[in-house]
Amino acid sequence: MFVDPKVIDYFTNEMVLVKIDAEKDTVLSKEFHIIGYPTLVMLDKNGKEIDRMFYSPPDEFLKQAKDYMAGIGTLDDLLKKVAVNPNRDTMFQIADKYKYRGGDADAEKWYGKVIAAGNPTDSLSGESRMALADMYRRNKDYNKAVTAFKAIATDFAGKPIVADAEYYIGDTYRRAKDTANAISAYETWLQHNPTADTSDVAYVKKVIEKLKNPPPPKAEEKK
């Protein structure tokens, strides 16, 4: 990304690029709700967040950066648009922006609007419910996340989204260090997805093996 000449030129002449180690600078990490790496937060001259970006091909990345600087596609822009036209796609974009900014209450509200404005089991409602469950998981509210993923697996029976929900049930149990339920959930995923991508199947089997046969603790951990 930042080795592309066009991107280098843009950030040399139009931006001030600052790189922060969020694992060491925990104050800034918490202030900007950094939940994954890398995270690119675009700020105005007063330090107020304009929006945040994710890695993409150089031309696409530059277009988005320039749009954001012009106020196009930002959270403020989307809020103005949805006030005039309550479009579900726009509502979903707003919810996503709040989610990644750490605005959990606002994210939950807007995902709820998406679901309420359409069919509760259509694709956008499914994406909204998955995003909410993922938010609970990331916030370590594991019981709430598992409940949400299980509800999705039930309500969307027969639809592709179920495979994702069932996988994340296992992942959530694993993060919660509930080994028995994690193994059971991953094995259920394998049973329900016999034709899944070979690499996905191999990965899940590897995770199950590690859960069943964890490596011995390191010397310093024994003390």
pLDDT tens-digit map of 133-179: 999 999 999 999 999 999 999 999 999 999 999 999 999 999 999 99
**Model-level pTM greater than 0.85?**
no
Q: What is the pLDDT of residue 209?
A: 96
Q: Assign domain 5-69 to its CATH architecture.
A: 3-Layer(aba) Sandwich (3.40)
Q: Which tokens hold the place of 120?
A: 């509760």
Average pLDDT, the chain: 90
- Select the more confidently predicted residue: 36 or 133: 133
What are the residue ranges of CATH 1.25.40.10 in the chain? 119-222
Per residue, what are the HEC states of 99-138?
HHHCCHHHHHHHHHHHHHCCCCCCHHHHHHHHHHHHHHHH
Lowest average pLDDT, out of 24-28, 95-99, 158-162, goes to 24-28
| 202 Cβ contact list (under 8 Å, min separation 6) | none
Whether domain 119-222 has CATH 3.30.360.10: the reply is no
Q: Is the pLDDT of residue 72 over 80?
A: yes
Q: Which amino acid is at 197?
A: D
